C-alpha cells in the first residue's frame, strides 16, 4: 500500500455552483408572456384567464423560491463564518476490485455496499463532511474504484485515521474482492468546494419542480376563473350599471354565453341593440314574441356574425310585456329576456 500526501496550491473561498432557479424563472417568464399574449387576443376565452393566472402564479412562486434559496445560502455561509473559508482536507483512496467480483462487491455484504453504509458511522465523527465512492468497470480485467472522504481540517482527518473503523479497515475486511497491493491513499487539501454552500439542481429536478409549480398555479388560476365567472353572473355585465330603459345597449357574445341576460325597452319607441361577437365561433341575436315563437318585430333578427364582428339592429315593439331572445346557433345556452315597459 502506498500513502501519499499532497497540497494543491493556495486555498480559495468556496464558490457556489450554478443552480437551476434562473432556468425555472426564465421558463416561467416565457410561459407568462405567451399566456398574456393569448389572453390579450381573446379576453373572452374561458381558458385564457386560468392559463394567464397560472403562469403569473408560477412566475411569482419560482421567483420567491429562488430568493428564499439565495437567502438561505447566504445565511449558511454567514453562519459558518471563518470555517466556510478554512482549509478542508480530503482523503482519496483508490483500489482495484478483482475481475468477476464487481457485482459481489455491490451486493449486500460486499465492499462497495459496506462503504455506502459507512456514511452513517462517519457522520458521528467530528469534522466529517461527506463521502463519495466512484467505480470504473472496464470490459475486462479488474474494476477501478475511488473512495473520497472530506474533512473540515487536517486535525479532523488525523483523528479519523486513528479511529477503529476507517475506509482502509473496510477494504482490509474484503480480501476476496479487493486486489492485494492495489490500495493507494492520498491526503490532499481542498482547493475549491461548494458542497456545503449550495445544492446543485439538475435539469430533471428543475423541470419537475417547474411542472409542480405550473400545475399548482393552473389550479389556482382555474379557481380564480370560476370565482370570477360566478361574480360576473351575479353582477351587471362588464361591471357597469344597467342602462336606462329604452337606451341603446351593447350585448357581447362569447362561447357560448351573452354577457346580458335581461334587456329593457319602452313600448312604441325604437330600441337599439349592438351585438359584439368576442367568441371563436359564429353567433347572432334574435328577438321573439316568446320562446319557440315568431320574430318579435321587423329588424329584430340579427345576422350571423363571425368571430370579431359586430352589428347593430333597431326595432320597435308597440305592446308592453316580456319577450324572449336567443342566439339561433346556440338556442339552449345563449338566451335572455326583453322586458318592454
> pTM for the whole thing?
0.37
- Euclidean distance between CA atoms 38 and 181, whole angstroms: 69
DSSP string, 125-180: STTEEEEEEEEE--SSSPEEEEEEEEESSHHHHHHHHTSSS-HHHHHHT-TTTBPT
Give the residue-averaged pLDDT of 231-256: 72
Whether 94 and 180 map to the same domain: the answer is: yes
Of 73-87, 88-102, 276-290, 299-313, the least confident: 73-87
Q: Is the dihedral of CA 101, 107, 109, 110 positive or negative?
A: positive
Of 112-121, 158-167, 240-249, the least confident: 158-167
Whether 111 and 253 map to the same domain: the answer is: no
Q: Which CATH number fits the domain that encloses residue 112?
A: 3.30.70.100
What residues make up the domain containing 332?
A: 238-340
Here the cell at position 44 is: 373572452
Whether 68 and 208 map to the same domain: the answer is: yes
Whether 96 and 168 map to the same domain: the answer is: yes
Residue 326 has pLDDT above 90, yes or no: yes
Please tell me the predicted confidence (pLDDT) of residue 74: 74
Residue 174 has pLDDT above 90, yes or no: yes
The pairing of strands 143-151 and 128-136 is antiparallel
Q: Is residue 231 in a domain?
A: no
Whether 133 and 183 map to the same domain: the answer is: yes
- Euclidean distance between CA atoms 127 and 168, whole angstroms: 18
How does DSSP classify residue 302?
P
More confident residue, 285 or 246: 285
Residue 230 has pLDDT above 90, yes or no: no
Give the residue-averaged pLDDT of 39-63: 74
Mean per-residue pLDDT over the chain, rounded: 79
- Residue 81 pLDDT grade (very low, low, confident, very high; cuts 50, 70, 90): low
Whether 67 and 95 map to the same domain: the answer is: no
Whether 246 and 313 map to the same domain: the answer is: yes
Give the residue-averaged pLDDT of 11-20: 50
Q: Is residue 108 in a domain?
A: yes
At 187-218, the pLDDT tens digits run 888 776 555 444 444 555 555 666 666 655 55
Q: Is residue 297 in a domain?
A: yes
Please tell me the predicted confidence (pLDDT) of residue 103: 93
User: What residue has cell string 373572452?
Assistant: 44
More confident residue, 224 or 265: 265
Residue 262 has pLDDT above 60, yes or no: yes
Q: What is the number of domains present in the chain? A: 3
Whether 326 and 254 map to the same domain: the answer is: yes
Whether 312 and 259 map to the same domain: the answer is: yes
Whether 204 and 139 map to the same domain: the answer is: no
At 268-278, the pLDDT tens digits run 999 999 999 99
State whether residue 238 is helix, strand or coil: helix
Whether 285 and 308 map to the same domain: the answer is: yes
Residue 155 has pLDDT above 90, yes or no: no
Report how far apart the first and last C-alpha atoms of the chain are (Å, whole number): 106
The answer to whether 184 touches 130, Cβ cutoff 8 Å, is no
Here the cell at position 98 is: 478483482
Please tell me the predicted confidence (pLDDT) of residue 27: 80
Give the residue-averaged pLDDT of 276-298: 94
More confident residue, 57 or 101: 101
Residue 329 has, within 13 A of its CA and on its CB side, a CA count of 18
Residue 46 has pLDDT above 90, yes or no: no
- Euclidean distance between CA atoms 161 and 253, whole angstroms: 80
How does DSSP classify residue 16?
P
Q: Which CATH number fits the domain that encloses residue 254?
A: 2.60.40.420
Give the residue-averaged pLDDT of 67-92: 72
Q: Is residue 233 in a domain?
A: no
Give the residue-averaged pLDDT of 323-327: 97
Residue 36 has pLDDT above 70, yes or no: yes
Instruction: List phi, psi (to 5°) of 45.
Output: -70, 130
Q: Is residue 133 in a domain?
A: yes
How does DSSP classify residue 286?
E
- Euclidean distance between CA atoms 289 and 301, whole angstroms: 12
Those residues whose C-beta lies under 8 Å from the C-beta of residue 79, and which sit 6 or more positions away, are none
Residue 335 has pLDDT above 60, yes or no: yes
Q: Is residue 267 in a domain?
A: yes
Q: Is residue 303 in a domain?
A: yes
Alpha-carbon separation of residue 292 from 286, 322, 325 (angstroms): 11, 14, 10
Give the residue-averaged pLDDT of 139-145: 91
Q: Name residue 336's beta-bridge partners.
A: 325
Whether 76 and 216 map to the same domain: the answer is: yes
Please tell me the predicted confidence (pLDDT) of residue 9: 40
219 burial class (0-12, 13-18, 19+ CB within 10 angstroms)?
Answer: middle
More confident residue, 12 or 128: 128
Of 112-126, 159-173, 216-230, 276-290, the least confident: 216-230
Q: Is residue 144 in a domain?
A: yes
Amino acid at each position: 500500500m502506498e500513502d501519499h500526501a499532497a497540497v494543491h496550491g493556495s486555498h480559495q473561498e468556496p464558490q457556489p455552483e450554478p443552480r437551476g432557479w434562473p432556468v425555472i424563472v426564465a421558463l416561467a417568464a416565457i410561459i407568462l408572456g405567451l399566456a398574456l399574449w393569448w389572453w390579450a387576443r381573446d379576453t373572452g376565452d374561458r381558458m385564457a384567464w386560468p392559463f394567464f393566472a397560472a403562469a403569473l402564479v408560477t412566475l411569482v412562486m419560482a421567483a420567491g423560491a429562488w430568493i428564499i434559496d439565495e437567502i438561505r445560502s447566504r445565511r449558511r455561509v454567514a453562519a459558518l463564518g471563518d470555517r466556510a473559508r478554512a482549509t478542508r482536507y480530503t482523503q482519496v483512496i483508490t483500489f482495484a476490485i478483482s475481475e468477476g467480483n464487481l457485482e459481489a462487491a455491490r451486493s449486500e455484504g460486499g465492499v462497495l455496499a459496506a462503504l455506502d453504509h459507512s456514511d452513517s458511522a462517519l457522520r458521528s465523527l467530528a469534522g466529517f463532511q461527506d463521502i463519495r465512492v466512484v467505480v470504473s468497470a472496464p470490459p475486462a480485467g479488474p474494476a477501478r474504484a475511488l473512495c473520497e472522504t472530506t474533512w473540515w481540517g487536517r486535525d479532523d482527518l488525523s483523528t479519523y485515521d486513528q479511529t477503529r473503523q476507517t475506509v482502509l479497515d473496510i477494504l482490509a475486511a474484503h480480501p476476496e474482492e479487493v486486489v492485494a497491493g492495489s490500495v493507494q491513499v492520498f491526503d490532499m487539501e481542498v482547493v475549491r468546494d461548494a458542497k456545503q454552500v449550495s445544492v446543485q439542481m439538475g435539469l430533471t429536478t428543475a423541470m419537475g419542480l417547474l411542472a409542480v409549480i405550473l400545475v399548482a398555479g393552473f389550479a389556482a388560476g382555474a379557481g380564480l376563473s370560476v370565482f370570477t365567472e360566478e361574480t360576473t353572473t351575479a353582477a351587471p355585465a362588464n361591471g357597469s350599471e344597467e342602462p336606462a330603459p329604452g337606451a341603446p345597449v351593447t350585448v357581447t357574445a362569447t362561447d357560448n354565453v351573452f354577457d346580458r341576460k335581461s334587456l329593457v325597452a319602452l313600448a312604441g319607441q325604437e330600441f337599439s341593440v349592438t351585438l359584439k361577437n368576442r367568441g371563436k365561433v359564429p353567433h347572432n341575436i334574435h328577438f321573439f314574441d316568446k320562446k319557440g315563437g315568431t320574430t318579435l318585430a321587423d329588424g329584430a333578427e340579427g345576422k350571423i356574425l363571425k368571430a370579431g364582428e359586430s352589428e347593430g339592429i333597431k326595432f320597435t315593439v308597440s305592446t308592453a310585456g316580456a319577450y324572449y331572445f336567443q342566439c339561433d346557433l346556440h338556442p339552449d345556452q345563449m338566451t335572455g329576456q326583453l322586458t318592454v315597459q
